[in-house]
Amino acid sequence: MLFQESFDLVLRDAHLRGHAVPQDIGIIDGRIAVIGRISAGMGRQEEAIDGRLVLPGFVDTHVHLDKSCLLCRCGNAGGGLKGAIAAVARLKQDYTVEDVYARGARTIEMAIGKGTMHMRTHVEVDPRAGLRSFEAMKQLRQNYAFALDLSICVFPQEGMLNDPGTEELLEQALVEGADLLGGCPYTDSDPSGQMERLFAMATRHDLDLDFHVDFDLDPSWTHLEEICERTETAGWQGRVAVGHATKLAAMDEAVFERLIARVAQAGVAVTALPSTDLYLNGRDAGFRAVRGVAPVHLLKQRGIIASIASNNVLNPFTPFGDCSLLRMANLYANLMHLGPEDFAACLDLVSEDAARLMRIEGYGLAIGAKADIIVMDGEEEAEVFGGLCDPMMGFKHGRKSFVKPAATLFRP
């Protein structure tokens, strides 16, 4: 069938996952209206895709914009998690809205160029940072909406019950436009108390929750089970995610299977942060360190909503980063011994699955979905994934939001 209607934008000869031959994509009012063959000249604007792979924009479910790009300002002499938290804690009392905005903008622009179109940022709110970082995030959310949907998750990085004033500031941020609430029980003097309060706040404000959980490799205890219990008690199934869950990388198989069955039952989602988790875990084991990354592809196979995300970029927690989710999923595949037959699932973990975790409406390349589309510089999915092909351009709500031309060679 040849579609004859007119469109705001037509993408010509795009290779979509699951389609044997290239398709045209017709877009009206920022949504995908048609996938098929479209008559010539039916788009007010047309773009030749020339058989390249198109994907829905990537979804980064876990990034710390407020402490990104601090590499030149502080190191991490201790090397581990405590050293990183302390290094940032020393800096953040001097944060200004302008400073946080500038570093966040640099990170967001990197992410846009790598094809990310949705991002959940965790933002530290406590008496040292006040609401300054949160204010900067609100400005970033507004000023970059043309290219990226930013979701703001406020959370207490250094504990809540041990840090008077933090809960009140979080409460204020929720009233003033935060999109969801985060937690970090392992740094609290009363982890259970923190979880109890945060669940109460989230249900009162009707908001999703996203916890930093179990950031070590000791399998003898975990907060994950308590989060599952509280999720069920609150009736918040499908609305709670956890990040790190590194203990899942260190458990015996029987304990692992029992725990993830519990996670699946409670409808809790899990995000792996490969770069940070590799960098900060297992340091006491020297060159025999275990990898410390939750095996989220196995969780996905058990029906758990899972994702892979960036977490930290160029700071004491992770002195690396270019915000590329494709690179992060590729890194994950490397360390989990996954091959080409698993690449599609890894791609899901930074796109479709990540979108389910964030409960993004209208995500994907389907009729009626939002036209948030990236064009990769390659044709075959396995080669794009394995070869880390960058996106060449992106369309947000059906409007071109960036281009990134391939290198031009000047032959002699």
Closer to Zn ion by CB, 137 or 375: give it. 137
Q: In DSSP terms, which residues pair with 402 in a beta bridge?
A: 394
Closer to Zn ion by CB, 66 or 372: give it. 66
Contact positions with Zn ion (CB under 5 A) in 301-320:
311
Residue 277 C-beta: closest distance to Zn ion, Å: 10
Residue 124 C-beta: closest distance to Zn ion, Å: 10
Contact between 359 and 208 under an 8 Å Cβ cutoff? The reply is: yes
Contact between 66 and 105 under an 8 Å Cβ cutoff? The reply is: no
Closer to Zn ion by CB, 23 or 121: give it. 121
Burial 121-155 (b: 16+ CB within 10 A, else e): bbbbbbebbbbbbbbbbbebbeebeebbbbbbbbb
Residue 367 C-beta: closest distance to Zn ion, Å: 36
Residue 117 C-beta: closest distance to Zn ion, Å: 20
Closer to Zn ion by CB, 158 or 381: give it. 158
Residue 210 C-beta: closest distance to Zn ion, Å: 9
DSSP 262-298: HHHHHTEEEEE-HHHHHHHTTGGGGGG-------HHH
How far apart are alpha carbons 270 and 18 in whole angstroms? 26
Report helix angle 191-205 to 166-175, nearest 10. 20
Determine the residue with CB nearest Zn ion. 311
Contact between 273 and 242 under an 8 Å Cβ cutoff? The reply is: no
Closest CA to 266 of 217, 305, 220, 212: 305
Closer to Zn ion by CB, 9 or 213: give it. 213
Closer to Zn ion by CB, 149 or 210: give it. 210
Residue 374 C-beta: closest distance to Zn ion, Å: 24
Closer to Zn ion by CB, 123 or 147: give it. 123
Q: What mask of x and - would describe binding to Zn ion in positions 136 to 155, judged by CB under 5 A?
A: --------------------
Closer to Zn ion by CB, 23 or 187: give it. 187
Residue 337 C-beta: closest distance to Zn ion, Å: 25
Report helix angle 97-113 to 132-143, nearest 10. 40
Residue 285 C-beta: closest distance to Zn ion, Å: 23
How far apart are alpha carbons 338 and 91 in whole angstroms? 39
Q: What are 169's two structure tokens?
A: 């500031």
Closer to Zn ion by CB, 61 or 311: give it. 311
The contacts of residue 285 (CB under 8 Å, 6+ apart) are: none
Q: Count CB atoms within 10 A of the CB of residue 294.
A: 30
Residue 116 C-beta: closest distance to Zn ion, Å: 16
What is the size of the binding site for Zn ion (CB under 5 A)? 1
Q: How many CA atoms lie within 13 A of 143 on its CB side?
A: 13
Find the farthest-apart pair of alpha carbons in the chain and give their distance in angstroms, rounded. 70
User: What does the binding site for Zn ion look like in residue numbers (CB under 5 A)?
Assistant: 311
